[in-house]
A and B are shown apart, each in its own frame.
Chain A
Amino acid sequence: MSETAKLDIINMTKLYDNGDGVRNIDLTVRKGELVTLLGPSGCGKTTILRTIGGFIELTDGDIQIDGKSIVALPPEKRPTSMVFQSYNLWPHMNVHDNLEFGLKLRKLPKEERERRIAEGLALVNMTGFEKKYPGQMSGGQQQRIAIARSLILQPQVLLLDEPFSALDAKIRMQMREELRKIQTDLNITVVFVTHDQEEAMMLSDRIVVMSKGHIEQIGSPREVYNHPATNFVAGFIGEMNFLEDKDTGRLTAVRPENVTVAHQGPGDITGTVRTVMMMGHYLEMTVDTDKGIVKAYLTAQQAEDFKKGDDVTLVFGKKYEYGKEK
């Protein structure tokens, strides 16, 4: 374990009565790192997060922060702070009291409490909202206050459980950028959970891609995008074409941006143009082949050469091979 390791999940297993759960999870998060647990519903990412927070008891293994085990501690004694997807703020208290609650419990003097509250509000651009009640604010504003509330408690690890999933798309982008800025400015260690791979790619130092209770791959966004370790990761991150060899069951995978389309010549596969769709600054072409439909991205200029029904040859650039699909 390196000296900068903040959070260590050691061979953690959590099993529910019906057999679902996560098994043998190993993960080290360094100080100041933002690590995202990414995966579809039911993959176990929220289970891991809530176990770190103290809301779930693990079946086996250990979780350590700064080298000390925290699994015996109840949530109120853990050096973590969690922001939930919704229902963070207490509706019967105004913003000021929401922020003050945790500070009062830590027996901080009034001056210090007021100072931190003011700092927290400034950090999330919500100065002036002290007297407002949660019911008077929008979803985005509420989440900002929730984040501020967690930050001013100065936790060792900040945990976020899909905090932006319930917000409008436009606000989501804004909140992601703001969160990333705050996180890097303050050098806080963060574990973030999401099912949105774009969000994970944008925010993270490293991504932990999960499926069905186990880890598929851990890597930086670039690594996970350019070198997907399993066909699950290949399909989950970004766009990917999958071509199955019917005899061996092996999968060949290639990203649409790595497919070159030509009228004739040597290539990996031939087919007929199915559709050409305008997507904005690029066009998406789908081609019917004997191994399925292949998507390719073309520039406007390239697309001028082709129309529906044309016979084409596809050349694959960077591609990936995987064993039989499980």
Chain B
Amino acid sequence: MSEKPQRTASAYSIRSIKRGIGRRKFGEIVVLLLFMLFFYGPLMYAFILAFANKYGPTDILPSEFGFKWWEYVLNRPNVPKAIFYSFLFAVVSTVASMVICIPAAYTLARYKFPGRKLVMFSFLLGNAFPKIGLYTSMGIIYYKLGLMGTFVGVLLVHMLGTMMQMIWLPAGSFRNVPRHLEEAARDAGAGPVRTFFSVTLPVAWPGIAVATMYAFIGSLGESVGTLMVGLPQYRTMMTEMYGVILDYPATAGAVFALIIVIPNLLLLLIMRKYISADTMANGFKMG
């Protein structure tokens, strides 16, 4: 390599910095790879297992890929029904949550009534305690009301889990809708209801979309409460999972896991443009 004439002190330091970053960057890349392996490893393994037709104990990767275990799982007696109920509860509980919580969120965002802060805090309570404790108390009330093993009973359990997100995130979103936008709509001739649907809701939509997504995913993942209240009449994929781990081979378990995980992944992909640090931060501000 030809020697370049040493120009200035700054030229020296730039070269040494570059060399330093080279070493540091290498270390960073190694850490990143390890992290990704830790994070995605189980998921990748589940994918491999789920599509493994033949996977001998001495093989690193399956010798044959196929859908054998998918057929197996989907033909089990309870499974199609469990998949159906999982999604049914997710959809119904999310919609019902939206109908109840969004007007409440708007009221909490816009109207300063006495006790408002207390009400907002109360919606955190559902997530402040171990759920088992809550479900046990709910179970006692359910027995008294005859809600054990009913559709509504399980639905309520699912909705309880979504309350915090469906109140706080939309309330934060509504608070961030500039008042002038709503006033301008009233000024132009729109009544309060039309203003809400034409202006407030569309502008607040990102926060509400995130909350809805969390509610849906949360409901898909709801297991303990459904187990206590829904069996044996209502089985969801999550409650079936308990049995799967005990009774089925690992490959079938992997299929099951993917059936649960894939809707979540799809939702996250669809919603990724709405999820940002801002949306979350704004959602949990107390206005």
A residues at B contact (CB < 8 Å)? 53-55, 74-76, 80-82, 84-92, 101-102, 105-106, 146, 149-150, 153
Contact = CB atoms under 8 A, between A and B. Distances in A.
**Best-buried of A86, A87, A102 by chain B (most CB within 10 Å):** A87
Interface string B170-193: 000000001111011111111100
Contacts of B184: 82, 84, 87-90, 146
Contacts of B178: 86-87
A165 B184 CA distance: 18
Nearest to B191: A76
Given A84-B180, A88-B180, A75 B187 contact: yes
Given A90-B203, A91-B203, A92-B202, A101 B183 contact: no
Contact of A105 (B179, B180, B190, B202): B190
B136 interface: no
Contact of A76 (B179, B186, B199, B202): B186
A101 B188 contact: yes
Nearest to B179: A87
A101 B185 contact: yes
A153 B188 contact: yes
Interface in B71-104: none
Nearest to A92: B202
A295 to B, nearest CB: 40
Nearest to A83: B184
6 contacts: A76-B187, A84-B180, A87-B181, A87-B184, A90-B184, A150-B187
Interface of B: 178-181, 183-191, 194, 198-199, 202-203
B186 A106 contact: no
A76 B190 CA distance: 6
A74 B181 contact: no
A53 B203 contact: no
A90 B186 contact: no
A87 B198 CA distance: 15
The 5 closest A-B CB pairs, nearest first, are A102-B188, A87-B178, A87-B180, A105-B189, A75-B186
Nearest to A146: B184
> Secondary structure of the B side of the interface?
helix
Contacts of A149: 188
Contacts of A89: 184
A20 B225 CA distance: 54
A54 B180 CA distance: 13
B62 to A, nearest CB: 49
Contacts of B191: 74, 76
Nearest to B177: A87
A84 B180 CA distance: 7
A193 to B, nearest CB: 14
A16 to B, nearest CB: 14
Contact of A55 (B183, B194, B199, B203): B183
A153 B188 CA distance: 8
Contact of B181 (A80, A90, A150, A153): A90
**Best-buried of B185, B186, B187, B203 by chain A (most CB within 10 Å):** B187
A151 B185 CA distance: 15
B206 to A, nearest CB: 11
A30 to B, nearest CB: 23
Contacts of A146: 184
A146 B185 CA distance: 12
B203 A92 contact: yes
A308 to B, nearest CB: 48
A53 B183 CA distance: 10
A64 B46 CA distance: 73
A13 to B, nearest CB: 22
A300 B185 CA distance: 55
A81 B184 CA distance: 9
A87 B186 CA distance: 14
Given A90-B203, A92-B202, A102 B180 contact: no
Nearest to A53: B187
Contacts of A53: 183, 187
A75 B191 CA distance: 9
A84 B183 contact: yes
A89 B182 CA distance: 10
B236 to A, nearest CB: 37
Contacts of A74: 186, 191
Nearest to B186: A75
Nearest to A161: B180
Nearest to A75: B186
Contacts of A92: 202-203
A82 B182 CA distance: 12
Nearest to A107: B189
B195 to A, nearest CB: 8
A150 B185 CA distance: 11
Contacts of A82: 183-184, 187
Given A90-B185, A101-B188, A153-B188, 7 more contacts: A53-B183, A54-B186, A82-B183, A84-B184, A88-B180, A101-B198, A105-B189
